[in-house]
Each structure stands twice: as C-alpha cells, then as structure tokens.
Amino acid sequence: MTNKIPVGILGATGSVGQKFIELLTDHPWFEITELGASEKSAGKKYSDAVNWVMQKPLPDKFGEMLVKNCVPDFNSKLLFSALDASVAGKIETEFANEGYIIVSNARNHRFDEDVPLMIPEVNPDHLELIKKQKYSGAIVTNPNCSTIGLAMALKPLEEKFGIEAINVVTMQAVSGSGYPGMSSMDMIDNVVPFIGGEEEKMQTEPSKIFGKLSTDGTFNSADFNISAQCNRVPVIDGHLECVQVKLKNKLSRQELISAWENFSSEPQALNLPSAPRYPVKYTFNEKHPQPKTHRNEGNGMTVTVGRLRECNLFDYKFIVLSHNTVRGAAGGTILNAELMKAKGYLDKIL
C-alpha cells in the first residue's frame, strides 16, 4: 500500500504514452494504476498491446496491466493524456466533464481560452485560468515540443529586457514524429525541410504562453512577431534551434548570459520532483550545445543555450537545445501536474 496519487495514462501505447510510463515508473508522488488506449488495444495485457520502443525495458508490473478503453470510468482521477490529436479533443472533454483532471500533451485544447498552455517555469500563474473552466474536472495543456525549448530560453530575456521579435529555425529529432514516424529512407543522408503544422504552432503558441493574466481575469496575449522554419534531421532525440531576437531594452551580451545563468522559477522554488536544478544552462564552448551531448542535461529537463552573438539583423542570435520527448513532452506534462499538486489544484480529487 502506498500513499502516492493514483494516475492513469490515456493513449498509453504510443511513444509519448510510453515515455510517460518510463518517467513515472519511480515517481515519488504519482503511481500509475490504469492504462488507457484505443479499442483495438483495450482488454489486452499492456505488453501485448504495445510495441515498446523506449531504451529501457518495460517494467513487468506495467506489462501485466490490462489496457482499458478511454471512457470516463477510470478510478484514478488524475490522467496524463498522450492521445493522438485525431481523438484527444473529444475524449479529454468527456473526462473533464466527468470530474477528471486531464494534464495533456495533445494540441487540441491548447487555444481554448480557459485552458492554460503551461510551462511551469514560464507561466505558472496561468493555472488560474482553470477557475474559468465549466468542467467538473479540468484540462491543462503543454505546448508543442519545439515551442517549449524556445519559450524556456526566451523567458529570462523576456523578464529582463522585453522581446519584440523572434526568428527561429529548428533542426528537430525524429522521435518528435512518434513511432514509426519518419521513414529511414528519408532520414539517412538527408534533411527534410518540412514538418506539417509545426511552423504554425511555433508562431502562435508563444503569444499565449507569454500572455498576461490580470487579477481581474482578463487575458492579453503577448504581441511578439514570430517567424519559424522547421526541419527534420537524422537525430533520435533533441531539438536544436537557431534563434534570433529583437529586445525592447538593448543590453549587453554579458547581461543576457547572466539572465540565463541566474534564472530560476516556481518549480525550483517549490522543489518539484521533476524540476531541474537549472532550468536553463548557458555553455561557453563554441561548438555547443549539441543534441547528443546536451539532451540529457538535468535528466532531460534542462534547456541548454550557447553561441550567443550579436546579429546584423536582430539584436542577438543564439542556439537552443532541449530534449523533445522529456522537457518537450512527457516530462513537461508531468512537471505541470507536479505544479498543480504543489499549488493545491489537485486537492479536489484527493
């Protein structure tokens, strides 16, 4: 018997669902007690339903669990959603209407005006938006993987200097498209300069993430100008981004680096289990950051920044590296749930 909070995974057989299982296996607060997936999988033992692609083997206790249908008869009231966007919208709404708290990695509800689009280090106060929800439960979402790394790197700058414009070109890992995802025929000796819908997400999500929620409940999006170009490269994990920014207050290179080095936020203050000691790290090696070398910094939750230099067209340019399936997906979602727990947002289901 344990005192941990029982949780379920919706969409447990996909690669993000598997990552949730991997990251929650020894979690100090949460314990997976139910796994949900599509009708095709429901009723099977999880080990029979899943094509396990994580690097560590599937723990036996999960392999033996029976997969459930994604209908609102779960015993655990806290659910992590790794559902595919083709079904997530409707299913998440059904669960939230039945009192479940959904912490989701799916994109469907990201722009609902009463749903927080959360990165705990960036906009923890947006959790307040939940109060506007008419669900008996709740829905909280996290941004797209490529947006998260970007927003984490921008937050310390935005706080200190204000941001006017952002230009970003990404080189994204194949794990971002799930399994099987990208064909090896396209990813050996090649780069694909297109990821469906990705540029649109990167151009719209930051405005909501950096929006201001007033005490009277009004919400104003940030008015950034953003251009994004997204490429898929032959890398397993780790999104690399070439970022250029125009700042409202022009400050020195050293001031920017200090802003990153000194950045710490609510997850660090609350000492959340998945919070990295350093949410952002600056590296001085001119060849860094690189996916293979830096993706596991802070157990995949630290975002690494490097090569800050002045720009002929913007104020500054620099490189950002984040682990797309940890900080950029399952790990970020878990950190959202931890923040909710720490701030009392789970009390009603406990």
Residues with catalytic roles: 145, 239
Rg (CA), the chain: 20
Cβ-based nearer residue to a second copy, 53 or 213: 53
257 binds a second copy (CB under 8 A): no
88 binds a second copy (CB under 8 A): no
# binding residues, a second copy (CB under 8 A): 55
CA distances from 213 to 91, 147, 249 (A): 28, 20, 23
The phi and psi torsions of 138 (rounded to 5 degrees) equal: -165, 160
- Out of 133, 229, 264, 299, the only residue in the binding site for a second copy (CB under 8 A) is 229
Residue 252 has, within 13 A of its CA and on its CB side, a CA count of: 3
| Min dist. Cβ of residue 11 to a second copy (A) | 18
In angstroms, the CA 232 to CA 254 distance is 32
| Min dist. Cβ of residue 106 to a second copy (A) | 21
* Angle at the Cα of 154 from the Cα atoms of 237 and 230, rounded to 5 degrees: 45
26 binds a second copy (CB under 8 A): no
In angstroms, the CA 126 to CA 339 distance is 11
- Out of 191, 248, 255, 269, the only residue in the binding site for a second copy (CB under 8 A) is 191
| Min dist. Cβ of residue 266 to a second copy (A) | 26
| Min dist. Cβ of residue 154 to a second copy (A) | 15
From the list 26-34, 119-127, 130-138, 164-172, the region that binds a second copy by CB under 8 A is 164-172
Helix (H, G, I), strand (E, B) or coil at 27: coil
- Out of 8, 306, 328, 332, the only residue in the binding site for a second copy (CB under 8 A) is 306
In angstroms, the CA 25 to CA 275 distance is 16
Token look-up 């900080």 returns 327
- Out of 10, 118, 174, 301, the only residue in the binding site for a second copy (CB under 8 A) is 174
Cβ-based nearer residue to a second copy, 243 or 259: 243
Following DSSP, what letter does each residue of 246-302 receive, concatenated?
EESS---HHHHHHHHHT---HHHHTT-TT--S-SEEEE--TT---HHHHTTGGGGT-
Tell me which DSSP letter residue 192 carries: B
From the list 4-12, 233-241, 262-270, 340-348, the region that binds a second copy by CB under 8 A is 233-241
Token look-up 């701030």 returns 343
The residue ranges that bind a second copy (CB under 8 A) are: 53, 55-56, 165, 167, 169, 171, 174-175, 179-194, 203, 225-227, 229, 231, 233-236, 240, 242, 244, 286-293, 296, 306-307, 311-314, 317, 319
